[in-house]
Chains A and B, each alone.
Chain A
Amino acid sequence: MAGRQRGPVPVLEKQSRNLTQEVLDKLDTKEPLQTAEDFPDVSQQEIKAALDRLGSRSMVKYETKETEQVLLTEESEAIVQDGSHEFKVWEAAKQQGGIPVKGLKIEGRPDAWVKAGQGTAIRNKWIKKDGEKFVAVPDSVEDTVQEELKGIQETKSISDAKRLVDLKKRKLVTVGKVLAYSVTKGPSYAKEIPVEVTDLTADMLADGSWKEANFKPYNFNALGAQQNAGALHPLMKVRAEFRNIFFNQGFVEMPTGHFVDSGFWNFDALFVPQQHPARDMQDTFFISDPPKADRPRPDPDTEKQMDAMEAGSRKLFATDDKKETKPRNYEEYWDNIKKVHQEGAFGSIGYRYPWSEDETLRLVLRTHTTAVSTWVLHRLAEDPRPARYFSIDRVFRNETVDATHLAEFHQIEGVIADFGLTLGGLMKFLEDFFSKMGIENLRFKPAYNPYTEPSMEIFGYHVGLGKWVEIGNSGMFRPEMLEPMGLPKNMRVYGFGLSLERPTMIKYGVSNIRDLLGHKVDLNFIESNAAVRLDKN
């Protein structure tokens, strides 16, 4: 947009020469007017600007004529001035009574020209060799080349096409395109530019002067006025699109309002063993203050939020049968988790290592929002029923920061719980989910994730990159995670996730994550980023 002008057409400036007025004057006596003839000494740009000013007011009409002109080069201009090279050589030989065979110098002519002129003079028999010198042969010569070029200079053309080619080859002339204009009167032609008003005003409406007013034309090639607009952050715009996709599919948003979580919810309850590399100091931010979490226990505030959000679904799917709910038992959950890690339980041999209570009560910055999904699924065990949950919120990894990694990013997570779900059903669901952002044709790769089995990496074909790219992770939560909560064995739970940043970066060609999230993001990028429509472009 740089360089383009905003606002109405430029005001007519007072110039030393009022070309617009001259055009109007000339048109009064001559129509059509030919700029090439009538204003030969005015540059094309200047005459065009004047005609546009008049044209935009419908005072003139003009047609553009493109003509070819034969123009002289520096060399041929010199020839027109003083004579051809061969003439100059002859002249020197005559005046000096002979010239050296080699190394003749003529002022104002480069040696190459002189040398060429000497050759032509010999061929023309204007000079001849006499001992160590060239001497002039005739007393006078006719310089036809100079005459010809003079003619070209005046007419800017050559009638003989063959001759033109010859002269062009000798770099004595060039052919240039020249724009000229044929101008006629327009419907609003007048001998003077009438007084113009720039804009419609309230006063003009009041006194009726708008009827006679002569409005200055608007420059439709310029941008409009700068809007002092606010803007939403591009990532938040993409987030809004994903939220809509989830809402359209009946997902309830999960309460992710705590960055700090315990090892229990973030790892152990997800069947991530205490020696798993993800629990390394290299990968997870541990908290030094406050020192330690409590054991899992009821959380009435968050409970209330969930109840409020699920009231709609409870009302809609209510039946007359009294459903029995099984209140959560946090002690039992704790013991189950300990057992499934330490000795094995629920059909699993477990990891068989001494499970440490201190390790599970360590506080961490959540490494994934799956910690919250775990809490929500444990809540679901009170009344196991089909349910869908999602969240989009910040997670933390103790990463070394580079172009694709930050210590913080946003995780998009979806969870679907139902009885008798199949692996193919998850693929089908994800096909539909990703088609809403224009990604068709998904492929799934077996992968490892401690809390899902099977685990599948989701690959989508990226047309721009011309290859399959990993676009997310998915799987079915492990029985070792679900059954300790008290969920029935035939209830299966899909989990899938992706980062908010990665699809945004791919979609909008951002190569450095720091250009998207964090304080280094360019405000101009935020302010000019287009609205996000994942289904379009």
Chain B
Amino acid sequence: MPTISVDKAALFKALEKEYTTEEFDELCFEFGIELDEDTSQSTKPEDKAQPPQLKIEIPANRYDMLCFEGIALNLRVFLEKQELPKWTLTPPKSGELETLTIKEETTKIRPLCSGVILRNIKFTQERYDSFISLQDKLHQNLARQRTLVSIGTHDLDTIKGPFTYEALPPEEIEFIPLNQTQKMNGKQLMEFYEKDKHLGRYLHIIRDSPVYPVIYDSNRTILSLPPIINGDHSKITLNTKNVLIEITALDKTKVEIVNHMLVAMFGGYAESIEPINIISPHNNESREAPDLSPREMQAEVDYLNQVTGLNLSTTGISKLLTRMGHTVAPAKADSKLLDVSVPISRADVLHQADIMEDLAIAYGFNKLPRFYPNKTAAVAAPLPINKLGDIVRFEAATAGWSEVMPLILCSHEENFEWLNRKDPGGLAVKLANPKTIEYQIVRTSLLPGLLKTINSNRHHAVPIKVFEVSDVAFIDHAQERKSRNERHFAAAIMGKTSGFEQVHGLLDRVMLMLRSVFITREDGLKKESLEGYWIEEVDDPTFLAGHAAAIKLKVADKTHVIGVFGILHPSVLHKFELQYPVSTLEINLEVFL
């Protein structure tokens, strides 16, 4: 969630009230934003050096509250200090709109462009800073680090339309970037900003493309190289009167949302909002931009009342929704419906469910009638594998072993090499983007976690006896999700002697509790109807030679190898840095379901 810092005194002036921190916190809580910090209460030198700020967390879908203007406006409307303005377009006196022509080549890199002109805007330092900061916030959030949308703003009096939006090879684009003195072409610009902390991270969006997007005026002056940087020539200053905003994008919906937000937040400082004629015949995107008419939708009175548990009249609903910026009137055709005009600033409203939530917020979540209907009963049931797992957990603990909960993600080495196991490929689920090597795969065995836990507890008196009942995962192409979990039980003992007979005894105990009898291998193989388990010496490099056994279980005439136990090979102990002998046991519990 974005956090916006606003000047405390200025905001309280805008809200026409000197709130205490607690009162303002309460207002935020009711409205659904969050006061993170009031720096007037801070003792940090950097906070004391500037006038008190309020740091406010904004929900990720409220793009209309990403600057001081938006927070002040929405709260004023909520507090009924004003109604939300109705933004309208004013064509220039000449009647001739500025035009921006989109060339077809732009489809190769960044096909969409929109824009607007703010005439006779009055900037102050605060407004100017807020204007820049809003663009930055929009770039970070809605525009996904400028990949989807990017904004350029220009002093219209330094350039001359008509404008063109083109896509050209980088070498052919030459200009002085914002706040630089040297002319450079597209290629040189990439090298120049390679190490730039701020801009370096956006270069990848176009760097390897054969053509770069670029906006020209009628004198071939470059306005900007989106989504990287504007030209120095047309930069805006505190004295700029007429601002041209151009917005390039990959996403049709978001380009207009961004346009709406800039107009709604800063249109109020301008004398008029002037549309631009966009000419883009090749993709049917020719139009006048922006369209500032509110979005008309309908909401059902019954639905609004039912879900909130209220019984409000249409007037009552209308009054409350006005506080959230909507204009509401009963539908002419149907008295059960409301016509709702959703303002351009409320891009988050998609469905009447959003109107219903706004109604609940305006009414006050905590004032809604809290009432749970006594009409349904339900029958509980545990998931069978969890019930089985719990049985094994309780038996292991009762037998004197302690339960541990290591992580499910681990490194490839821990899961394979350190246990002297080879990755056969196609067994373990591998992560594409881990932040550390600790998380490379989803474990296929519980042993690494147990051994790491013992390693972190070397200060504990021996013997250490630990167990875990939890899931491992395997690749399984037969499944929709190409993988499946398997519930395992594993235990490990570290002591002055190997503890081999201890894990063996724990196995016998758990088997007894699961109603599985011990049978000899010969009997198991001979008598078909006999059910039970037996163990067989096995050659397994995880374990000391001659001290490992496979556990075999016969159920319903089928023999399963359900696991293995043994004394860990000293090379395994060495990898996990364990100084005493360790014996382990691991079995698959799924067969007992």
**B-binding residues in A (CB < 8 A):** 228-233, 235-236, 240, 243, 246-262, 265, 275, 277, 281, 285-297, 299, 305, 308-310, 312-313, 316, 344, 346-353, 363, 365, 386-388, 394, 396, 398, 400-401, 406-408, 418, 420-425, 427-429, 431-432, 443-448, 450, 453-456, 476, 478-480, 492, 517-524, 526-527
**Are A260 and B483 neighbours in the complex by a CB distance under 8 Å?**
yes
Q: Contacts of B452 on A, CB cut-off 8 Å?
A: 519
B383 interface hit (Cβ, 8 Å): yes
A408 to B465, CA, bound (A): 24
With A447-B32, A453-B357 given, is the CB distance from A422 to B397 under 8 Å? no
In the bound complex, what is the Cα–Cα distance between A245 and B29 (angstroms)? 29
Give min CB distance, B363 to chain A, whole Å: 10
**Which residues of chain A are near B401, meaning CB under 8 Å?**
230
Q: Which of B34, B376, B482 contacts A293 (CB 8 A)?
A: B482
B358: shortest Cβ distance to chain A, in Å? 9
B297: A residues at CB distance < 8 A: 349
A521 x B404 contact (CB < 8 A): yes
Having A260-B429, A297-B480, A348-B350, one finds 6 other A-B pairs with CB under 8 Å, namely: A230-B397, A258-B484, A285-B431, A348-B351, A350-B350, A521-B404
User: Once the chains are docked, how many angstroms separate the CA of A228 from the CA of B434?
Assistant: 40
The interface bits of chain B over 436-470 (1 if a CB of A lies within 8 angstroms of the residue's CB, else 0) are 10010010000001001101110010001110000
Task: Give residues 28-76 of B contacting A (CB, 8 Å).
Answer: 29-32, 34, 59-62
Binds A, one of B93-101, B327-335, B405-413, B537-545: B405-413
CB neighbours (8 Å) of B251 from chain A are: 275, 353
Tally the A-B contacts, defined by beta carbons under 8 Å.
Answer: 305
- Cβ contact within 8 Å between B464 and A290: no
**Residues in B whose Cβ lies below 8 Å from that of A295:** 480
**Given the complex, which residues of B lie within 8 Å of A522, measured CB to CB?**
457
| 3 closest A-B pairs by CB | A446-B32, A250-B378, A448-B59
B120 at the A/B interface (Cβ < 8 Å)?
A: no
Question: Does B221 sit at the interface, judged by CB under 8 A?
Answer: no
Verify if B339 is at the interface (C-beta below 8 Å from A): no
* Chain B: CB-nearest residue to A256: B383
In the complex, whether B398 has a CB less than 8 A from a CB of chain A is: yes
20 contacts between A and B (CB under 8 A): A243-B382, A250-B379, A258-B473, A281-B433, A287-B431, A289-B475, A344-B350, A349-B295, A351-B253, A363-B483, A387-B378, A398-B434, A422-B307, A427-B368, A445-B365, A446-B30, A453-B353, A455-B357, A476-B307, A523-B402
B243 at the interface (CB under 8 A from A): no
A424 lies within 8 A of B370 (CB) = yes
A501 to chain B, nearest CB (A): 10
Q: B340-372 vs A: 1/0 string, CB under 8 Å?
A: 000000001011111011001100011011111
Distance of A423 Cα from B32 Cα, bound (Å): 16
| In the complex, residue of chain A having the shortest beta-carbon distance to the beta carbon of B441 | A289
Complex contact B384–A523 (CB within 8 A): no
Q: Which chain B residue shows the least CB distance to A385?
A: B376
Which of B60, B373, B455 meets A277, CB within 8 Å?
Answer: B60
> In the docked arrangement, what's the CA distance between A485 and B461, Å?
56
Q: Is the CB of A259 within 8 A of B366?
A: no
B409 contacts across to A, CB distance below 8 A: 285, 365, 396, 407-408
Q: Say how far B447's CB is from chain A's closest CB, in angstroms.
A: 12
Q: Please give, as numbers and ranges, the residues of chain B lying within 8 Å of A527 by CB-CB distance.
A: 402
Question: Across the interface, which residues of A come within 8 angstroms of B407, CB to CB?
Answer: 406-408, 517-519
Q: Which residues of A contact B286 (CB under 8 A)?
A: none
Residues of B within 8 A of A252 (CB): 378-381
With CB as the reference atom, state the residue of chain B lying closest to A394.
Answer: B408
CA distance A299 to B481 in the complex (A): 10
Cβ-defined contact, B405 with A235, below 8 A: yes
Instruction: Verify if B386 is at the interface (C-beta below 8 Å from A).
Output: yes
A313 CA to B383 CA in the complex, in Å? 14
Measured CA separation A401–B139 after assembly (Å): 27
Does B432 lie at the interface of the complex (its beta carbon under 8 Å from any beta carbon of A)?
yes
* Complex contact B357–A425 (CB within 8 A): no
A519 and B306 contacting across the interface, CB-CB below 8 Å: no
Q: How far is the CB of B254 from chain A (nearest CB, A)?
A: 8
The chain B residue with its CB closest to the CB of A448 is B59
A448 to chain B: which residues have CB within 8 Å? 1, 32, 59-62, 348
CB-defined contacts of B402 to chain A, threshold 8 Å: 230-231, 523, 526-527
Q: Does B83 contact A (CB under 8 A)?
A: no
Q: Which residue of B lies closest to A418 (CB)?
A: B376
* Docked complex Cα distance between A476 and B60 (Å): 18
Which A residue's beta carbon lies closest to that of B473? A259
**Distance of B140 from chain A, by nearest CB (Å):** 9
- Whether B252 sits at the interface, judged by CB under 8 Å, is yes
**Which of B59, B351, B479 lies in contact with A479, CB distance below 8 A?**
B351
Q: Is B471 part of the binding interface, using a Cβ–Cβ cutoff of 8 Å?
A: yes
Q: A305-B383, A453-B357 are in contact. Are A290 and B482 (CB under 8 A)?
A: yes
Residues A286 and B433 in contact, CB atoms below 8 Å apart: yes
Known contacts A427-B370, A445-B29: A388-B482 contact under CB 8 Å: no
Chain B residues near A289 (CB-CB < 8 A): 426, 429-430, 475
CA distance A308 to B388 in the complex (A): 15
Of the candidates B59, B455, B480, the one whose C-beta lies within 8 Å of that of A299 is B480
**Max count, chain B CB within 10 A of own CB: residue among A252, A299, A349, A446:** A446
List the B residue with the shortest CB-CB distance to A309: B381
B430 cross-chain contacts in A, Cβ below 8 A: 287-289
Nearest CB of A to B419, in Å: 15
B8 → chain A closest CB, angstroms: 21
A520's nearest neighbour on chain B, judged by CB, is B456
Q: Does B148 contact A (CB under 8 A)?
A: yes
Inter-chain CA distance A299–B360, complex, in Å, is 39
